[in-house]
Amino acid sequence: MKIAIASDHGGFAHKEEIREYIKTLGHEVEDMGCYSTDSVNYPDYAFPLCEKVANGEFDRGILVCGTGIGMSICANKVKGIRCALCGDVLSAKLTREHNNTNVLAMGGRIIGIETAKEITRVWLETEFTGGRHQKRIDMITNYENK
Ligand code: RB5
């Protein structure tokens, strides 16, 4: 898959490691910043990434900030984005199966890097179940299109 990844300063260290990890899983990954630990504003990174996922330039997106909360709030304001903030592996699996999430948010100050990598791997590998869950996704899409 084509994956875009971005962070603010609070997620920078995790983003650097997750980017390299994603490559070892066989995916193409584009780093959309930030590029240092200098203080930046997470909306400047969340919105451009999510627009590129929403318009199909990337299959999925991964966002990391200090808590993951700011990034996930921004992401879920972009039409076509379903973002899950995950701090555990089961949520990562279930949000792919049930919510067909196309963006994953994580908190660099909340979870360790090994947990973040495992969440990333499981989230990338888990397929959407469809079925009864598709109806619920359609309800979200219908609301967005009102
Ligand atoms: C930045 O200090 C911090 O507020 C940000 O990384 C994130 O946690 C916001 O939700």
Is 133 a catalytic site residue? no
User: Can you give the residue ranges of every domain in the chain?
Assistant: 2-144
Position 6 scores a pLDDT of: 99
107-112: average pLDDT: 98
CA 69 to ligand 1 center in whole angstroms: 8
**How is domain 2-144 classified at the CATH fold level?**
Ribose 5-phosphate Isomerase B; Chain: A, (3.40.1400)
Give the H or E element holding residue 18.
Answer: helix 12-24
Position 74 scores a pLDDT of: 99
Closest-CA residue to 117 (of 5, 1, 2) = 5
Position 40 scores a pLDDT of: 98
**Residue 75 near residue 101 (C-beta atoms within 8 A):** no
**Residue-wise pLDDT tens digits, 122-143:** 999 999 999 999 999 999 999 9
0.85 exceeded by pTM = yes
Catalytic residue among 9, 27, 98, 133: 98
Gap between the Cα atoms of 138 and 124, Å rounded:
22
Closest-CA residue to 31 (of 43, 42, 10, 17) = 17
68 token code pair: 């993951």
CA 10 to ligand 1 center in whole angstroms: 6
CA 104 to ligand 1 center in whole angstroms: 16
What length is written for the chain?
146
Position 123 scores a pLDDT of: 98
Mean confidence (pLDDT) of the chain: 98
Is 14 a catalytic site residue? no
Closest-CA residue to 74 (of 86, 59, 63, 66) = 63
Four-CA torsion 88, 67, 23, 75, nearest 10 degrees: 100
**Residue 64 near residue 106 (C-beta atoms within 8 A):** yes
Position 4 scores a pLDDT of: 99
**Residue-wise pLDDT tens digits, 5-45:** 999 999 999 999 999 999 999 999 999 999 999 999 999 99
